[in-house]
Structure 1
Amino acid sequence: MTKHRIYSVSVASVYPHYVAKAEKKGRTKAEVDEIICWLTGYSRETLDDQLVGNANFEDFFAQAPEMNPSRSQITGVICGVRVEEIRETTMREIRHLDKLIDELAKGRAMEKILRK
């Protein structure tokens, strides 16, 4: 079975779209970074290294220091698919990130986004 093409897309090429989506709704780049770091365990510095190194989504999630165990609480629909029903691990992690960025853009409080 062939991998979805999003796996080979660099995170750095999508990252500006995450930031733009957030900023368009009055949120900040720092909040986007906080979400990504919370989800993956990257520090701000190692996140920057991944972006500069043009890591693709598959490698980005495979090399993540520690995926947050609370990510299992991320539920709902993204791109017409229920996040919790996605079987393929990497695709589920990508959709978790998409869902968190959507919640940020919709004005949800950071405490709720980060499942505190």
Structure 2
Amino acid sequence: MSGVEQLPPVCDEASFRVLGDYLAQRGAPRLFAVVQEYGRCVNAHVAAYGMAFEDRVVMLSNDGRDFTFTLSCMESAVGFYHREEDGLTARVVWLSMLDDAEAESEETFTAGAVRVAA
């Protein structure tokens, strides 16, 4: 028998589940995308997705090469994709999680005069 099994419960199961949910939500990273823009309103794409923790940023490239890296700050995340000499700028887009009903209603959206289908 391990030491953990010998400890008495600190509360009932429902309260303990609420505590676990709280810990997970409080420590959750913020989700973001790095959008690379070419020229002035010429073209754009999502270069990477990432998670911002309190002490670091973890990113995954979106170009199919499965390039994952960890950086110390958000400025480095943007700087990695910002290449002004090539006409590329980069910016962070903070993402919010959509529930299934919201995601279904967001199939198309309008950006300026351009209609985009998801």
TM-score w.r.t. length of structure 1: 0.28
Higher helix proportion: 1
Structure with bigger strand share is 2
Greater relative contact order (CA < 8 Å, ≥ 6 in sequence): 1
Instruction: Give the structure with higher Rg (CA).
Output: 2
Q: Normalising by structure 2, report the TM-score.
A: 0.28
